[in-house]
Structures are given as structure tokens and as C-alpha cells.
Amino acid sequence: MQAKRNRGVWGVPMTIGVLMIIGGVFALGAALFTSIASVFYIGASLIVVGVVELVSGFRLHDRGSKLALVAAGIVASLAGILLLAQPLHGLATLTLLLAGYLFASGLFRGLTAIAVRYAGWGWDIAYGLVSLLLGAYVTASWPISSAWVVGTLVGAEILARGIAMVAASLALRDVEQDAAFAR
């Protein structure tokens, strides 16, 4: 009885995965739109987080925790408001932050791989070099790179998750078929 009820559960994740692939391709094709939409999403999220922190802070009785949460709530809310009020400036700032992250991450990974030389360290050197070069390129082409960097990264993430979800649903389908064949 249980096997009949669970038959065909792979279809829903497959559908979601295909829709994510389509959305990822659209996001990559409309990188500027995706970048600006991401800024609005981040700005709105920061405002929500800020309000939650403010409410939580005002409900606390411990003075130190209260002050920390209220201060964090004010900073998050102000950052969100600034992103919503000046989305292009916010996008330029996010692009520089991402470039800095790529550069620092690549440098750290490459130096760690050279220093420790663990199994597969050559791959981490290659990753580090690519990340360093991407960070340098994004910085060198800033502010023009602001038009595509965030949107391209978001689109690539959506596309990759969609592909992973389709692959997982196909594996689930194979397991279901093997279970049905075994009966």
C-alpha cells in the first residue's frame, strides 16, 4: 500500500527543476534585470531582518543584548532602505563586494593549497587562480561590470540548482522503477 502511494513522486521535483532551468536561462539572458531585481530583493530582506531585530531587541530585558539587537536592526533597516532608494549605487557596491570576495577567496584558497599540499591541492590552486582573475577583472571593469556580475551569478546559481534538481529527480525515478520491478 505504501509503495503505491509513493509511486511517481519524482515528477514534482522534475517539474520544479525544469522551471528553474528555464528561469536560470532567462536570468542569464537578462543579467541587468536580474541584478536590479536582486538588489531590490536584498534591500527588502534587510528591512524585514532589521524590523525583526528591532522588535526582538525591544522585547529583551538584558541591556547588552537589547542594545546589540537594536543597533543591528537599525543598521540592517538603513542598509535595506538605502538599497531600495538607490538601487544602482547599491548594485555597484554589491559588485565591488563580490569582486573583493572573489579575490580574497582565491588568494586564501591558493595560498592554503600551496602551504598544506593536501590531496587534490592542484585543483584548489586552479580554483584560486580563476577566482583571483575574476575578482581582478570585475574590479578593473567596474562600474560597467555592475550591469552583469550579480545577475550572472544569480542566474548561474538558479540554472545549476535546476540541473541538480532534474538529475536528482531522474535518480529518484530510477529508484522507483527498480523498486517496482523488484516486486
Q: Which three cell numbers stand for residue 72?
A: 543591528
Identify the H or E element spanning 78.
helix 63-85
* Single pTM value for the model: 0.71
How distant, in Å, are the alpha carbons of 40, 54, 89, 147 from that of 94?
12, 24, 9, 11
Structure confidence by residue, pLDDT tens digits, 33-47: 999 999 999 999 999
pLDDT classification of 3: cutoffs 50, 70, 90: very low
Tens of pLDDT along 59-102? 888 887 888 899 999 999 999 999 999 999 999 999 999 999 99
Q: What is the mean pLDDT of the chain?
A: 88
C-alpha cell at 111: 595560498
Q: Which of 39, 74, 80 is nearest to 55 (CA)?
A: 74
